[in-house]
Amino acid sequence: MPKYSLRINGSVHDVDVAADTPLLWVLRDVLGMTGTKFGCGANQCGACTVHLDGAPARSCTRAISGAANREITTIEGLGAEGLTTLQNAWLAEDVPQCGYCQSGQLMAASALLADNPDPSDEDIDRAMLRNICRCGTYQRIRKAIHRAAREG
Amino acid sequence: MSDFNVVNVSRRDVLKTLGLATGFVVSSAVVPKGIRALANRALADGILADRLEPSVYLALDTDGMVHAYIHRVEMGQGARTGLTQILADELEANWDRIHVVPAFGDLKFGSQNTDGSTSIRMFYDAFRMAGATARHMLEDAAAAEWGVARDQVEATDHKILNKVTGRSQDYRDFVAAAALLTAPAAESVTLKTRAQHRYIGKPVRNLHMEEFATGSSIYGQDVRREGMVYAVAARPPSVGGKLTGYNREAALAVSGVLDVVELPEMKAGWGFQPLGGVAVIATNTWAAIQGRKALAASFDGGPNGSFDTTEYEASLWRSIDAGGEETYARGDVDTALAGSARRITADYFVPFQHHAPMEPPAATAEWIDGKLNIWTSCQDPQAVQNTVAPYVGVAAEDIYVEATLLGGAFGRKSKPDFAVEAAVLATHAQRPVKMIWTREDDVQHGFYHAISAQRVDVGLDASGRVQAWDHRAAYPSLMETATGQQTDAATSFEVGPVMEQPLVVPHMRIRSGEAKAHVRVGWLRSVTSIQHAFAMGSMIDEIAEVTGRRPDEVWQDLFGSVLTGADLTDASRREPRPLVAERLGAVLRRVTEMSGYGRALPPGTGIGLAAFTSFGSFTAAALEVSVSEDGEVHVPRAWTAIDCGLAVSPERVTSQMEGAVVFGLTIALHGAITVKNGAVEQDNFDGYQVCRINEAPEVEVAIFENEHPLGGAGEPGVPPVAAALSNGIFAAVGKRIRRLPVGDQLTG
Ligand code: FES
Ligand code: FES
């Protein structure tokens, strides 16, 4: 099997998996980083969202061969140096219910704010459209993103 | 006494040695001063329990740490936090000194079936008593230690105040001494008043909130064990179908695939049995999924192989035409209908719905020293024990089952077929196996909310008053899943929600028509209240339309008023009707006010109302609905109200009510599972669509508080939503929706 060298949250990991293995399963099964969630495996729900070179990407449909040599950030890397403003906003608005979609929501939201520091409701809806929350925490997601934007 | 040194003695012997008593009961009256020193000494010698454990729900360590045995599972509804609030409140515990133990299956806890919106209301009293009993014992020990009267000590925030000296001491100083005491009789334990509550009814952050925000919460899909392998399975597309072939070699040729294992075939009497099929075990999930593809497993259709939802719907309407079994009646509906001045008849249809929790089902099983261990996102660890036991040949109580956090469940994870699969494979492989359901597995092999047909015939008198309500329903029963008994019509329990409403109609009848189950029917968040609230709530709006009255007034007349006469004394009702009407009328009034019902709205916009009582609670919803020129439905705002007696976790009740609106909108706007040739046609979120952020309204929630018994909060928010939506659509554009989902009915 081919070997890949991955840069995840600032550290290098060498893995040995089939080239078509999606990044999601490398993170979860090979490296034990289970913060990135499996929701659909089909680019439908956003639970598996990570950042590749700072841009949001669905790790469930991103083959490992295309993720090597990129800067990968996962939820574990988001608050590595203490909770971010965004995560604190999430706590302040009590966003999560079951919590399962929230890693993906946070990764999508942090990419949005990096891109657009003061998004409107429409900007938020557009950017977060691909992240399902079956518990229905959407209105709190909107509030938390606005709060994070305010608190910079 | 200073030479106190006993080896291998029982607690009773210690008490004797201390000169305390000869029996087990040591009341504070006979506990001498200095008991703490003695207890600590005995503890140091290892002859006493090192914790105070007056209940199965809690224990205190000698460092003052509280272990809360919260036996119900957490799936987003907040039960674990809520139950901890109750326990901590009566214990006067400091929130930061509570350790919540993961829920594991054990009969000693009572029901662990986290379902039916019951966790808080079923265990409120028991958890209060557990906390208060421990507090009482700590106070007894302190009073004895200080040699002061019982009423001169008072527990507050993990400390006990000595009112004589004005000094306080930490709980930890009294744990060992309190452990010597026998728990006081229930009558002598004083519970706090509501005014004294420090956690109950107060905004307390969900225990797991920080984990959720950092991705460190562990769900069934996330469990990892040393040496663990991963499994996925190919299952028969229709229930009862059998495996007819598969290519074992092709699967084994996939890199990472370790083994191919046939799963036990399903037997008659469905219950929670797994469906059968064949599993692929591999070194990672992806390899297992690729191996499953390579298997190219084939199945015969079995007894349900030709099932087709379009044909089935036609059969449901034939059952409706045929009448059905009467499950409830008052007055004389036929005569009243025949004599009515005006009749309204409407047919309502709701297709199969699916739970689609964000986390697909998963379970990990491992044999350790001859004992089977299972970690899984289940709603009932005891059901896992009971369901798995016959497959592995051990007694249910000998299986350790721990519930992880659940990434949503909505009823799906109360049926632990996936845990059986994990256990069978771990037994075969003799190593830890994680059974993973993919989203396709989840959507195609679910326990669906029943497809339903309903016909409501209403008779009005000359002045427009409703005299008769004849309600017919036909849908497959969930009983074969719940009990393993084939049941060919919805039971009176299932159509019960129709009867439970305080409908002000003198003549009423409910009938259930024949409907055999061909897919596994399960219970989905709020169960049959989904379709019944849709039909009843829509019909009330239709009555307003026909009589030319304001819907809010008709709602109050029919659901918020008291019917005099025979029905008042109907003993089959769970609760007295006047109270039901009063509470339902109040939540209706509240959402009517909150929404500014009756205010001027832009063209194409309307407000729809609905209310329902379910799971011991009373809820109402008002939805502002706008329909664009090209028929797109949008709900910018919603107002909901719940009367559940007391919201132990107001923050969680609020978020459940917000989420319930989104959940109800998914059912109303998109939800539909269809079956052709015995197989479910949808397989992921592109086929089974759920609401996304652009469809989520801004929801405002009102919570009522009163002295009535506690009701549920996880489910009751759902039932009014679909009717409020369709009534809102009617108010907006005058089009009546009688079939769910709305889908493209308005755009077509
Ligand atoms: S798991 Fe990747 S988009 Fe759903
Ligand atoms: S919080 Fe449960 S799916 Fe989003």
Q: How far apart are CA B326 and CA B317, in angstroms?
A: 17
Domain locations along chain A: 3-78, 85-151
Domain assignment present for B739:
no
Q: Which domain holds residue B194?
A: 11-200
Asked if B214 is an interface residue toward chain A (Cβ–Cβ < 8 A), one would say yes
- Both B81 and B120 in a single domain? yes
Domain assignment present for B746:
no
Closest CA to B408 of B656, B618, B235: B656
**What contacts B204, CB < 8 A, 6 or more positions away?**
B81, B85, B95, B649, B651
- Class of A85-151 per CATH? mainly alpha
Residue after which a domain boundary falls, among B415, B444, B473:
B444
Best residue among A26, A27, A36, A43 to mutate for probing ligand 1, ranked by most atoms within 8 Å of CB: A43
Nearest residue (by CA) to ligand 2, atom 4, is A133
Ligand nearest to the CA of A38: 1
pLDDT in tens, B440-488: 999 999 999 999 999 999 999 999 999 999 999 999 999 999 999 999 9
| Ligand 2 atom, smallest distance to B358 CA | 3
CATH number at residue B583: 3.30.365.10
- Where chain B has pLDDT below 50, the residues are 1-31, 566-567, 569
pLDDT in tens, B268-315: 999 999 999 999 999 999 999 999 999 999 999 999 999 999 999 999
- Both B523 and B460 in a single domain? yes
Q: Decide: helix, strand or coil at residue B215.
A: coil
Going from the Cα of B312 to the center of ligand 2, the distance in angstroms, rounded, reads 33
Residue after which a domain boundary falls, among B384, B418, B444:
B444
Q: How far apart are CA B299 and CA A38, in angstroms?
A: 28
- Both B137 and B233 in a single domain? no
- Both B73 and B30 in a single domain? yes
| Ligand 2 atom, smallest distance to A97 CA | 1
Number of structural domains (chain B) is 3
Show residues of chain B in contact with A133, CB under 8 Å: 358, 662, 693
Q: How far apart are CA B621 and CA B661, in angstroms?
A: 8
Radius of gyration of chain B (CA): 29
Closest CA to B528 of B273, B722, B737, B330: B722
pLDDT in tens, B541-567: 999 999 999 999 999 999 988 765 544
- Both B440 and B457 in a single domain? no
CB–CB contact A35 B685 (8 Å): no
Q: Kindly report the CA angle at B551 between B547 and B554, in degrees rounded to 5?
A: 70
Q: Which residues does residue A67 pair with via DSSP β-bridges, in sequence order?
A: none
Domain assignment present for B47:
yes
- Both B67 and B45 in a single domain? yes
Q: Decide: helix, strand or coil at residue B325.
A: strand
Q: Please provide the DSSP assignment of B654-676 as one string.
A: HHHHHHHHHHHHHHHHT--B-EE
Strands B243-245 and B452-460: unpaired
Identity of the residue in B436, B684, B693 whose CB atom sits nearest the CB atom of A42: B684
Asked if B4 is an interface residue toward chain A (Cβ–Cβ < 8 A), one would say no
Closest CA to B733 of B647, B606, B574, B646: B606
Domain assignment present for B738:
no
**A3-78 has which fold?**
Ubiquitin-like (UB roll) (3.10.20)
Show residues of chain A in contact with B410, CB under 8 Å: 134
Q: How many CB pairs under 8 A join A and B?
A: 196
- Both B516 and B605 in a single domain? yes
pLDDT in tens, B193-238: 999 999 999 999 999 999 999 999 999 999 999 999 999 999 999 9
User: pTM of this prediction?
Assistant: 0.94
Q: Which residues does residue B51 pair with via DSSP β-bridges, in sequence order?
A: B61
Domain assignment present for B315:
no
Domain assignment present for B119:
yes
- Both B440 and B566 in a single domain? no
- Both B153 and B277 in a single domain? no
| Ligand 2 atom, smallest distance to A136 CA | 4
- Both B469 and B578 in a single domain? yes
Domain assignment present for B404:
yes
CB–CB contact B358 A36 (8 Å): no
Domains A3-78 and A85-151 alike in fold: no
Q: How far apart are CA B304 and CA B520, in angstroms?
A: 11
Ligand nearest to the CA of A50: 1
Does the C-beta of A137 come closer than 6 Å to ligand 2? yes
pLDDT given at position B579: 84
pLDDT given at position B575: 57
- Both B404 and B474 in a single domain? no
Place of tokens 């909130």: B209
Q: How far apart are CA B400 and CA B261, in angstroms?
A: 24
Closest CA to B309 of B746, B744, B739, B748: B739
pLDDT given at position B576: 61
Show residues of chain B in contact with A138, CB under 8 Å: 662, 691-693, 696
- Both B415 and B275 in a single domain? yes
Domain assignment present for B217:
no
Does the C-beta of B76 come closer than 6 Å to ligand 2? yes
